[in-house]
Amino acid sequence: MGASPASAETSVSTDVAIVGAGIAGTALAYLLARSGVDVVLAERHTDLSREFRGFGFQPLALQYFDRMDLLEKVYALDPVRIRRPHVHAFGKRYAIADLSTYSDIYDHVVFMEQPPLLRLLIDEAEHYATFEYRDGTPVTGLLTERDRIVGVRATDRATTRGLDVRADVVVAADGRYSTVRDELGLGANRFESDVELVWVKLPDSTAAEPVDVYINEHGVLANFGLPGGEVQLGLPIEAGTYPDIRAQGPDAFAARLAAIAPGYRETIETHFTGFEQCSLLRIAPGITENWTRDGLVLIGDAAHVASPFGGQGNLMALKDAVALHPILADALAERDEGTPLSEGALRGFERTRRPQVEATVRLQRRMGGGIGWIARNSDALPPTAFRLLFRALFTLGEPIMRDTVRHMLFGDDPPSVARSYFAAAPESCE
């Protein structure tokens, strides 16, 4: 990494500079601010009302929000609550899981749009004088001294001036296309997949169930209900075939969706107007080879890109924030003033989280492979064969299914919110 460029027109100093106001960045900012740590959260966009695809939050996420004293405020956002997701496979309906068997208190999954939740986390962090949120502030590079990272170079879009944010540690939470990770010369280390996912978001759903999956000889289609009556459909397709699908025209595509999920035929025929309502997601999870440097740590999608299968992205981001919070608080309390945190002080985060992330990604890849196989071969075998397959899966395979669902909901040895680090009461910055 080369030397830092000349000093910017404006400079601020903080304990922690967090890059990216997604789930990982905003949750960590709240936890640190509540623990009396000086935090600057820099977000490239000027608002949070952009399109996100991660809507699901598992019971462990609800437990985290509860331990962060935010659960009732999360519920006030009016999310969709799911206790018994189902799959409709070749004319038979199966319960994927009854979530009440895994937890008496957190017995459901919630689905919600991300922007209101991110706004909630930022607003709660702003109750503490140690927190500063800078939106419209894209990070353009890293500040280094003697091969140690000492902050970030950014641009303040409101003034169009350069901004240096000097910090004892930089946390890169800027997503799967991380600028900071690119600046370090690190790759996302994606695993190749032969499946892609077409998202279709439609209004005014008449769906009876907020979350379900349809599987038949026409393919696989998942529905994720959203607040406000919207429906988001996910269609797994063979990688590289989307241009051919588009070439066949929107009517053929709508007919394909309706053939897989007849329960949504009316919604599809009424509200699907064309491919501008679609987006293509490349399913290629990955794990960056190294998450720490002197003065820097990667979290969330910047460290590990999640697959959509299993809906783990938000929970993995929250786990990162929860795990890193006490590590940073302790390291900052023990450091020499003005000295960047060493890689050694940060390495415990990666040592703890990497094996857990690797286990989740392995499970995601197995799920993706199985769903992809069904999507590619659902019309190649007689429906009777698939009916027998699913009957066996939901009877003889129930113990395996139960363990898989438990991992998706909680993971193995998940980190706990370190409430003992919280200050007694907010020191309002107002």
Cα 414 from chain centre: 16
- Burial (Cβ within 10 Å: 0-12, 13-18, ≥19) of residue 308: buried
The structure tokens listed for 306 are 């999640």
pLDDT at 227 (0 to 100): 66
pLDDT at 1 (0 to 100): 46
Neighbouring C-beta atoms of residue 416, cutoff 10 Å: 12
Q: What does the pLDDT look like over 58-113, one tens digit per residue? A: 999 999 999 999 999 999 998 888 888 888 888 888 887 788 888 888 988 888 88
- For residue 230, report the phi and psi dihedrals to the nearest 5 degrees: -80, 160
pLDDT at 15 (0 to 100): 96
Yes or no: say if 311 and 54 are a contact pair by the CB < 8 Å rule: yes
Q: Which whole number is the average pLDDT over 131-143?
A: 96
pLDDT at 403 (0 to 100): 76
Q: What angle do CA 408, 108, 355 make, to 5 degrees?
A: 20
- From the list 20, 12, 72, the residue with the least C-alpha distance to 41 is 20
Yes or no: say if 31 and 321 are a contact pair by the CB < 8 Å rule: yes
pLDDT at 230 (0 to 100): 75
pLDDT at 2 (0 to 100): 43
Measure the CA–CA gap between 407 and 285, rounded to whole angstroms: 17
Kind of pairing between the strands at 211-216 and 86-89: parallel
pLDDT at 427 (0 to 100): 55
Highest mean pLDDT among 253-267, 299-313, 372-386: 253-267
pLDDT grade, residue 430 (50/70/90)? very low
Q: What does the pLDDT look like over 321-380, one tens digit per residue? A: 999 999 999 999 998 777 889 999 999 999 999 999 998 888 888 887 777 777 777 777
Measure the CA–CA gap between 338 and 410, rounded to whole angstroms: 38
Q: What does the pLDDT look like over 304-315, one tens digit per residue? A: 988 777 778 899
